[in-house]
Amino acid sequence: MDGKVAIKSPAIAEKVWVAKTGSRYAVAAQVKAGGPLTLFVDGKAVEGATDPQNVVFSPDGKRYLAACRVAAGQAFVVTDGKLSQQYQGVTALNFTPDSTKALYQAYSGSKSFLVVEGVESNGFGLLAGQVRPVTLSAQGARIAYGTLDGMNQNFSAVVDGKNVLPPGRRVVGDSFVFSPDGKRYAFTTLPAARNDDRSLVIDGVEVPGIEPQLFSRLESEAVPYVTFSPDGQQAIWRGMDKANRNRAGLVVNGQLVPAFFGYTIRQPVFTPDSQHVLWMTRESSPTQRPAYHLYVDGRKAGVYEESFELFPAAWAMGADGVLQFLARAGDVVKRYRVTPGSETSLATLVSDAQAAEAAALAAAASAKAKAEADKAKAQADAAAAQAKQKADAEAALLAKTKAREDALAAKTKAREDALAAKQKAREDALAKKKSQ
């Protein structure tokens, strides 16, 4: 090491593990000829640490974890020189970002365990996450993970060693997320035996009435449903009203903002002061090609032919509060810089959306009232027309009846008049005859 012999041994494995911080290193070597490979850390053998398979140093370079094996094939972990009990296997050696907690997954038989600082969790079948089985907070050394045991329908959501899963639910894999300051957390659940009715849990409390939906991210990324602001005070996600699925949009601190529900919100990002949020959408129209629209606090700030916001290197918020991103303009790709102004904020996003919803509801109510009034008038006009038609028909029938009655009366009178005239003629003839 640095030109000097660090270890002399009959056999040394080719693999050397080196800390990313500091000058610590580890290697597998024989203590004596014919003996097993043993873990050497900083040139010194670690007693009992046989057949090392992997070594992980803590971020600060001061601690280490080593996965080792014994001749019988059993596995164990060495944490800063201390040997664990033996398992069938160990994997996923890791440290929290602040280096204070060492953790790994171990399994024996049908049970797995998460071991944190030498303390085993309750046994479980599998970890729920695929891309990120265990979620670590950036600050505060917090640890979260979901477990499942499909055979027994036994699930858990563990945060700092405590099961916080609501009864009858299971964790959606890779949905755990901590706020940047590590003080808050969120995850998504499903019913234990179904794949519908998603719900969000924030800080141990289930958010009622709103079904969470994903933001667009790279498929290779673990996809949390929630984005926390840098100060941890703001939480946003996409959601849908469970009672009215036509009412959907952005959810801000548990309040549904029914806007932008027609488009997928892509890569939302807060400014460092937590006052502004920016995102991109991909929007289509019947007459134009899809375009990419940049929103700042819910207000459209730009339209681009093509954007690359799903790629981290092409979409980044700077410490100065300026968003830089790449977008295509014609035959070239340009870098854009966007600085949110003081006239908008997360608060104006909510107030704008509330005003828009109120206006939309008022317009809908007005349209409904007008439609109901038009319907009532049409019904009244139809009823009046029907009444007039009925009255006209009755009048016509009455006139027809009267005409029939008048004709019958005239006929009867004519017949009576004829009979009277005939009778009078007969009487006149008889009187004349008598007078002769």
Confidence band of 359 (pLDDT split at 50, 70, 90)? confident
In-domain check, residue 402: no
Share of the chain above pLDDT 70, in %: 95
DSSP 216-247: B--TTS---S-EE-TTS--EEEEEEESS-TT-
Q: What is the pTM of this model?
A: 0.79
Torsion angle (degrees, nearest 10) of CA 419, 424, 425, 428 = 160
At 108 the pLDDT is 93
Give the residue-averaged pLDDT of 151-164: 88
At 329 the pLDDT is 86
- The per-residue pLDDT of the chain, averaged, comes to 90
The token pair that represents 226 in the structure block: 């929630």
3-state class (DSSP) for residue 59 = coil
Of 123, 147, 173, the one marking the end of a domain is 123
At 214 the pLDDT is 84
The gap between the terminal CA atoms of the chain, to the nearest Å, is 179
In-domain check, residue 417: no
CB distance 146 to 132 below 8 Å: no
Identify the H or E element spanning 250: strand 248-252
Confidence band of 100 (pLDDT split at 50, 70, 90)? very high
In a shared domain, residues 52 and 84: yes
At 56 the pLDDT is 98
Identify the H or E element spanning 354: helix 346-435
3-state class (DSSP) for residue 344 = coil
Query: How many structural domains comprise the chain?
Result: 3
Over 60: is that where the pLDDT of 63 sits?
A: yes
Q: What is the CA radius of gyration of the chain?
A: 43
In-domain check, residue 90: yes
Q: What is the pLDDT of residues 292-347, one digit of tens each?
A: 899 999 899 999 988 888 887 899 999 999 999 999 988 999 999 999 999 999 99
Of 108, 123, 138, the one marking the end of a domain is 123
Confidence band of 284 (pLDDT split at 50, 70, 90)? confident
In a shared domain, residues 157 and 115: no
DSSP state of 84: -
In-domain check, residue 360: no
CB distance 35 to 51 below 8 Å: no
At 265 the pLDDT is 81
3-state class (DSSP) for residue 205 = strand
CB-based contacts of 75, cutoff 8 Å, min separation 6: 53, 67, 68, 69, 86, 87, 88, 89, 90, 106
Give the residue-averaged pLDDT of 336-363: 88
Q: How far is residue 26's CA from residue 395's CA, in Å, rounded to a whole number?
A: 113
Q: How far is residue 99's CA from residue 77's CA, in Å, rounded to a whole number?
A: 17
Q: How far is residue 98's CA from residue 104's CA, in Å, rounded to a whole number?
A: 16
In a shared domain, residues 133 and 250: yes
Q: What is the pLDDT of residues 28-60, one digit of tens each?
A: 999 999 999 999 999 999 999 999 999 999 999
At 259 the pLDDT is 67
Confidence band of 261 (pLDDT split at 50, 70, 90)? low
b/e map of 37-61 (b: 16 or more CB within 10 Å)?
bbbbbeeeebeebbbbbbbbbbeee
At 283 the pLDDT is 82
In a shared domain, residues 246 and 321: no
**Count of Cβ atoms closer than 10 Å to residue 333 Cβ:** 14
Of 215, 243, 262, the one marking the end of a domain is 262
At 156 the pLDDT is 94
CB distance 233 to 202 below 8 Å: no
3-state class (DSSP) for residue 20 = coil
Over 80: is that where the pLDDT of 258 sits?
A: no
At 436 the pLDDT is 74
At 263 the pLDDT is 64
Q: Where are the alpha helices (DSSP H) in 49-194?
A: none
At 287 the pLDDT is 65
In a shared domain, residues 80 and 3: yes
Q: How far is residue 274's CA from residue 236's CA, in Å, rounded to a whole number?
A: 12
In-domain check, residue 250: yes
In a shared domain, residues 190 and 309: no
Share of the chain above pLDDT 90, in %: 65
CB-based contacts of 21, cutoff 8 Å, min separation 6: 57, 59, 60, 61
DSSP state of 345: -
3-state class (DSSP) for residue 254 = coil
In a shared domain, residues 314 and 235: no
In-domain check, residue 134: yes
Sign of torsion, CA 152 85 102 312? negative
Confidence band of 222 (pLDDT split at 50, 70, 90)? low
In-domain check, residue 81: yes
At 257 the pLDDT is 83
In a shared domain, residues 96 and 19: yes
CB distance 88 to 80 below 8 Å: no
At 290 the pLDDT is 76
In a shared domain, residues 89 and 147: no
At 430 the pLDDT is 86
Question: Could you list the residue range(s) of the whole structural domain that residue 39 is in?
Answer: 1-123
Give the residue-averaged pLDDT of 172-185: 93
Over 80: is that where the pLDDT of 260 sits?
A: no
In a shared domain, residues 108 and 188: no
Report CA-CA distances (Å) from 351 to 277, 280, 354, 360.
Answer: 14, 20, 5, 14
At 221 the pLDDT is 57
Longest Cα pair distance anywhere in the chain, in angstroms?
184
In a shared domain, residues 283 and 245: no
In a shared domain, residues 235 and 309: no
Q: What is the pLDDT of residues 382-402, one digit of tens each?
A: 999 999 999 999 999 999 999
Q: What is the pLDDT of residues 64-99, one digit of tens each?
A: 999 999 988 899 999 999 999 999 999 999 999 999
Structure-token match 């800390």, residue found: 19
Q: What is the pLDDT of residues 104-126, one digit of tens each?
A: 999 998 899 999 999 999 999 99
In-domain check, residue 320: yes
Confidence band of 223 (pLDDT split at 50, 70, 90)? low
CB distance 249 to 239 below 8 Å: yes
